[in-house]
Every structure is written in C-alpha cells, then in structure tokens.
Amino acid sequence: MTSESTQAILRNASTHWRLELSTEWDVLGPFPLHAREQTFLSPSFPIDLSKPIDYNQTWPSSYADGGHVSWKKINSDNEGDLNISFQNIRWSALRATEGWAALQHHAILRATLTVIPPEAFTSTDLQHPVPSVLVQLVQGSFFAITPSLSQSDQNPAAPAWHAGNIYNLERSLPQVVNLPTPPSMTAPTEYNMFISGDYEIRLFGDPAAQKRAWPVQNINVQVGFDNAAPGEPLLHEASQDVICDFVDGRSFGDALGIAIRSTNGWWTVTNVSLKGEATKAFDLSIVRPATISPSQTRIIPILVSQHAPFHDAKFDISLFFTQGSSLAEHNVSVTLEIAHHIQWVSDAGPVPLKGTYFYAETNPTAFSAIPPMRENGRAEKPPLLFLHGAGAEVVNNPWWVEYLPRMEHSWVIAPSGRTSWGLDWHGPSARDAWASLDALVKIIHQRPQWKPWALAPQTRAIVMGHSNGGQGAWYLASRFPDRTLAVVPAAAYIKSQSYVPLTMSRSAHFIDPVLRAILESSLTPDDNDLFIPNLLDTPLLAVHGGVDENVPVWHSREYVSVLKTWNPEANATFIEDPNQPHLYPSQLTSKAVHDFLDGVLAQHQDTYPRIKSFLLTASIPSESSSLHGFRVLELEIPGRLGRIEVETSAAGRVQVTPRNVHSFTIDLSLWPNTSFAVNDDNLMVQTVTDNILISRTASGEWQSASFDNSAPPIASQFGRVQSILISPGPLTIVVPSKSPSRELSVAQRIAHDLGVYHRLDAEISLEHDIRVAWESGILSPGNVIVIGRHTSDFVNWLLGKKQTPFATSDSGFAVANHKLREKSLGAVVMHPHPHSASSVLLLLGTDDAGLERAARLFPIRTGVATPDWVVLDARSDNVGAGGVIGAGVWGRGFSLNSAMSWLY
C-alpha cells in the first residue's frame, strides 16, 4: 500500500508528459527453481537481454511435456493485476513425486512502456527534465526498464534490476526509476518492462487449498510519473510516519518519526519546531542530523520530551532543511494526529496501545501492548511476548487481540518485527522483539501513575507466536534462552528448507557439492531444529491444527520429537487440534493454553534453578545469547556449529567441555562458590566481578579473565552477509564522490529495499566524506555498505589495509593470492569496521553487470545463501550458484578459513 500522495501519482497521468503501460504481456515459463534462488540467477533467466529476443524460440523446461516451453500472451486488467498460470503443465504429476517443491517456479514477463511527450513544448517545459518514473510492483521479485530494440546499440547497458514488493508489505513506497535512455521530445518513445515472476508457496499458498489444479501468480504493477511540483523538493510521505498513542495525555513512548522524500537534490535536516498549544506540553529535538539523497525517503528521528499533559487531537510541527554546500533552505510543515486513551482499567476490554522507541539508537519504531487486567500486587509479573505471523500487521490493526489470552497480571507485547514479514523473526526482527519489550519497561517506569503495572528491567518473558511467529518463538527462545521463561509456538514451521525443500534447485545441477555446503552454511543460524538442545530446561507447549493447510502439522510433531530425543523428560507438550486449520479462535485461548500459562507464572522465580547438566549450541555468537549464564563468544572454526557441554557434580564442581569453541563467558552470579574444569583442566577463577571470559591460548590451554558489564567482550559476527542488517546504528551506504553513477543507483535501490522490507534507516554518503571520517576516528558506529569497482581508489585504499585475505587485481579480485580472472565479476565481502561491534560489507563489480549481480545478493530476505564472501561470474545468470567461483566464511580475525572456503 502506498501513501496518498504516491497513489495519486501512480494513478494519474502527468499534466505534460504521459506514460502508458500496455495491458498485453509476453510470458515465458515455467522453469523450476527453489526459494531465493532468483538472487543468484538473472531475473530475466533464461533470456539474455543484451541480445534481440526471438518470441518464436522454445526453451528447455523439465516441467513441460516434451521438455520445452514457449512464449505466450496474457492481459492485465485496468488496475494492473496479472494472473499468471501455466495450465498446460501436468502439475499433479509433478506434485505426486516432488510435493510442494514442484510448485515453485520462475517466469519472465515483458510489456511495452510508452513515454509520450506534450503535444507542444513551452519554454517552461524545456526548463525541466523528464520526470522520474514511479513503479509499484507487488508480489513480483524484480523488474527492469530497458530501451526498445530500436534504441539499443551493439553494447547495451546492463539492466538495472529493482526489487519488487514481493511480500505485499504494508505502506510500501514505489521505486523511483530513471529511464535508461532519454525519450524523444517530439514523438512517443517505447521501452520494455521486464518482470521476474517467482511462485513461492509462502507467498501464494497451496493451490489445492484454494481448490485450484494449478498454481497462479497474482502480480500487480502500477506505473506513473513522479509529478511533484517543481517548487517542492521535499515531500511528506505520511504513510511512513511513526507516532505513539497518548494515555491520559502522556505519550506512550519518546520516539517520533516524520517521513520525508527528496524529489531533487541532497538535503540535511537541521532542526524541528512545534507550533501552538503543544509548545506548552512538550519539546522536540532532532536525534541525529539526517541527509536525504535524491529520490530517497527517510524517517526523521525526533525525540519527544514531555513536561505536561497534552489532550489535543493533533499538533503541528515544522522541519528545517539545508541543501549541500549551497546552504539553500527549505521548510516542511506537518500536522500529526494523535490517538488518545484513558488509563486502562480492569473491567475494560483489551485495547492495544501503540508505543514507540528508537531501534538502533535513531530508528523510530512502533509496537503494540495490552495492559494486564490488574495491578502487579506484591511482585512484578513476567510479560507475554507475542510474535505475529507472516503478512500480519499488528501495530495499526488490532485483529490479533481476539486470538490471544487475556492476562490477569502480565503485559502482552506485540512487536512489529520491523515489518509484517521482517526477517522471519531473525536478525533485526529478533532484536526488535526484545528491544520493544525493554522499551515498554522503560515507558512504564517513566510515569509514576503507571508503576503499579511496572515490569522488571531485563525481565524474562513467555514467548508466544503463530505461524511465522511460531517459528520465531522457537527461534527467540532457543537463541535467547536465559530471557525466555516459557514458549508457546502455534502452527510453527521448522525452517525454510523444511517448509519447501530445495530439491528443485537449478543451481544444484551445476555446483560442486562442497561449495553448496559452504553456501548453505549461511542458513545454519536459522535452522531451529539444531538449536533445540538450548530449550531442554524451558517449559514448552506447541499447538497445531490437525488439517493446517499452510504449515503442515508434521512440523510441530517433529519439533517435539527432536526435543524428546534429546531429553525424554523435558517439560514439553504437544496439542494437535483435530480438523482445525492454520488459524482458529481457540488456538491460543483454550483452557489448555491458559492452564499452561498459569502454571508457568505461578512457578516463576526471580532466580534461575541450578541445572545438573545442559548443552549450549551456537552458530553465529553475536546472534544469540546465554544459557544458564554460559555464552559462546567465538568459534574455533566459524561456519560450523559450536557447543558447550556442562555437567555439575554432586560436590559442586562443574565440568565444561567446549566443542569448536574458542572463547566463552560465564555469569558467576548464577554460579556462586563454584569451581570449573574445562576439558578436565581445573580453572582457577579469581575475579572481583560477576563475569569471566574463558578463552583458548595459542598453545591450546584455557585461561580466564574478568570483565565488567559496562565493557563486555564483543561476540563474533562471522558467518554470513545477512549479519550486516544487525547494525548498532543507522546503516551508511558509500558511493563514489562523482555522480550520477551506477553505484548511486544501486545505493538508492538498497536504501529503498531496506525501508520496505525492514524499516531500516540508511544514509547514502560519498567516499571522500567516509574516508575522512574513517581516518579521523569519527566514523558512525553503524554498519557500512561500500558500493564500488575493483578499480575504485576508495575500495583499494580500504582493501590496502590488508585486514582480510580479499584484494583487487588488474583483472578482478584475488583471495589469498588466488586470482579470480573471469569476466564480469560480482563480489560481496564482509570487512572489519573500526568499531568492533560493527561491520562493513563490500558490494563490488568489475563492470555494471557484475555490480548488478553483487547487488542482487544483498540480503533483503531470509534464505539467501551468502556466507562472509562470495564471488560470482556471468555464468550465474544461467546456472545460479553454479556460477560462483569463490566463497567462504572468514576465520577468526578475518583470516582465511581453509575448512570453510572454496575457490574455482
């Protein structure tokens, strides 16, 4: 869904220029592939867009009778809706042997986009360039606009592929697209629009459940000119604003976000001011100056400091901007509406309150919370943390309330997960879940009148979730077991590879199995079944409908089976409700669920029980926390699982057996007066703090050192490119100082995708400014994304520090002196950041096409198999990951990890 301003732009033609997208589409497909494989393949697969297209040609496809498919034509309706199906394919026969995996498929679509100039130009028309094109693609994976054959030369530019809104995420803004070649000023100009259509079960569902014999892709595409008035270089995108509710005139949070889009030039926000009566109630201040690049939308972070109640329905503010070195000024005035509530009372129905906080220091973020029916009484009560399912929007839509139990003394917190899909409750979505809970604790403690309902700082929580949120409940509970009091997953799937197997992979036919294993090691941190040992001491109740049409019930059965295999006496129960679907009213409100929750809360203790033995499992240490006070900090061989076995003797001696673990910490407050032996070697622990770091020396011995909570050691982040999304501050995207450029286009697309898919903030900066900040020691602590070429001075300056084995060469790239000489290379590489808690990601290409390949590997969605570094060549356009010529997980200290590396 777009904001009102952008919807009007998409649906109305320009007053001067006109844009027409034909309703007739050429379609080629279907071709088998697995989920996310389209990030390695060319979105136009199997077509090479650098050559003329023969619409009479047939193409190999194992899905079709005879093994070939040909082009066909379909029509969209007047609203831009496309329904793509291939009814001549014997889907039932494919499904009989390959199941849901056989339904996943790829198609390429093409239509004509015509740009029509005004009938007669005036001097005013000539002063302004052709407006940018706005494209909103819903449930398509990628799109590109290319010149028509008559415009193309012998060496056409590599298409700029833009990500579509494949999840149909709420309130998404359209992509701003520059035409690949200037249109004629005197006659209509035709362009091609290509769409990569990819059917996934998670997106479109099982056709059998919809009483269809074949899968159907439902895609919507709308195009229009960006008709912002020439005098309005900055526009307010109201649909992206973040504002909290007010309770008895008091703000339920201190974060406010105003979304501003630049239609022309680079602008930096400098100040904010209030108008009218609001000035008597609170003050506003800019949390951090934010620069908006051309066509970018950013949510300006504003801190609310309230000193008196405010009961008006709305208030007015002004934002002040300057432009670059010219110091040109522009003001934007905004009116914000407020939802007011009276303070909650016990006899009132559950009304969700919208709270706000700053995620990653400056990112305004909303969550929902339901107050308990009664005050705490003598002690603060643990809350219930509810994780929504995929596509469920909980912050502005209270539908979910009726599906949850009403709690007597416990708060119910429903975080956004960044968006309704987020990152499947992994990465930034997991951080948002715990941060929303911590924000609620802070909000309640700030208001004296709310303290009878207060929550304890760092409180443990009962984690509950449905569908994708049920999977997320398993994830959060097993990665953060010491913060989890109990877990109630409903209709949960195990992991992406179990939901729909990867058996129809195109890449698998061309790839070295060793390389495939290294690539897929980046999925290991998300494989919930491998982390079940972390939950053996956690009360668990799994619930699933017996005829679930979305997530097969065997997933929950298998979860509990694996858990019981580890510990037959575990406190784990499975309830299968016969004849019930994926979602039903009693799923989380039944007597069995209530009894389980009451039992957990009745037995809750402020101290952890002493456990005789347990097993801690970790993959990427920075993405998980502790179990009974033990936390893995660094692995011996990153990319492989690390485990710590802990066994307590009757005499109080604790035997610790690390496996593939280089260092770990112990919270001694949970282990008072305890002696430890690591691999049978007694460890002398002498510390004045409650925390010790145990690490292996170069000679293989174990040593201990104390540390203070104010400066804890940093957990390792090695393992996968996806870790770049977990940033301690706003992301910075670095582009060449000379623009416009392909690099700037890639940066703008990534910034847009970060906003759509994760509501993550990104600032686009120039190389010169970042180098100065880097060398001066004032670089922002947020993660950095560098977009460039192998010939870039900035890239070579950074790699010249020799902090990794990755380097550039005359012909492309090199890893540990192994030169990768193929043509048109793309590379994604994790690199050290000056701040140890942060990371740098390099997105590099030897030409435009290589840079585009690297850009498609940026981890917008889960399930993208990209370890710490990947280099691929042009062959990947046709053979997917089979075109990877080097990949691996870095070793400790960004060293070459021979056990987890592969070179062609």
CATH number of this structure's domain 721-903, picked from the four choices 3.30.70.2740, 3.30.379.10, 3.30.43.10, 2.40.50.220: 3.30.379.10
Strand 818-820 relative to strand 813-815, pairing: antiparallel
Q: How many contiguous H segments (helices) and E segments (strands) does the chain have?
A: 15, 52
The pLDDT, as a whole number, for residue 605 is: 66
- Asked if the model's pLDDT at residue 684 lies above 90, the reply is no
| Spatial CA neighbour of 559 closest among 546, 544, 547 | 544
Q: Please, which pLDDT band fits residue 528 given cuts at 50, 70 and 90?
A: very high
Which CATH fold would you assign to the domain 238-310+330-497+536-603? Rossmann fold (3.40.50)
**Strands, DSSP E only, in 531-625?**
540-545, 572-577, 613-618
Token reading at 531: 């982390």
CA neighbours closer than 13 Å in the CB half-sphere of residue 540: 30
User: Which among 101-110, 316-325, 817-826 has the top mean pLDDT?
Assistant: 101-110
Token reading at 461: 């929580």
The pLDDT, as a whole number, for residue 138 is: 98
Mean pLDDT of the chain: 93
Burial class (CB in 10 A: 0-12, 13-18, 19+), 140: buried
Q: Please, which pLDDT band fits residue 4 given cuts at 50, 70 and 90?
A: very low
Q: Please, which pLDDT band fits residue 711 given cuts at 50, 70 and 90?
A: confident
228 or 232, which is more confident: 232
Residue 441's identity, in one-letter code, is V
pTM of whole model > 0.85? Answer: yes
The pLDDT, as a whole number, for residue 8 is: 42
Q: Please, which pLDDT band fits residue 686 given cuts at 50, 70 and 90?
A: low
The pLDDT, as a whole number, for residue 10 is: 45
Interval 766-802: pLDDT, tens? 999 999 999 999 999 999 999 999 999 999 999 999 9
DSSP assignment of 678-700: ETTEEE----SSSEEEEEE-TTS
Interval 364-420: pLDDT, tens? 999 999 999 999 887 899 999 999 999 999 999 888 999 999 999 999 999 999 999
- Where is average pLDDT lowest: 223-232, 239-248, 459-468, 727-736? 223-232
CA distances for 504 relative to 28, 98, 105, 370, 582, angstroms: 18, 8, 9, 44, 26
Contact 118, 16 (CB under 8 A): yes
Rounding to the nearest 10 degrees, give the CA dihedral for residues 860, 426, 391, 207: 80
- Asked if the model's pLDDT at residue 226 lies above 90, the reply is no
Does the bond joining 382 to the residue before it have cis omega, within 30 degrees of 0? Answer: no
The pLDDT, as a whole number, for residue 733 is: 98
Q: How many CB atoms within 10 Å of residue 903? A: 14
Q: What would the mean pLDDT of 525-532 be, rounded to a whole number?
A: 98
Interval 230-285: pLDDT, tens? 678 999 999 999 999 999 999 999 999 999 999 989 999 999 999 999 999 999 99
Domain 238-310+330-497+536-603 and domain 721-903 have a common topology: no
* Every domain of the chain and the residues it spans: 4-225, 238-310+330-497+536-603, 613-635+639-706, 721-903
The pLDDT, as a whole number, for residue 689 is: 75
The pLDDT, as a whole number, for residue 153 is: 55
Strand 246-247 relative to strand 340-341, pairing: parallel
The pLDDT, as a whole number, for residue 151 is: 53
- Asked if the model's pLDDT at residue 699 lies above 60, the reply is yes
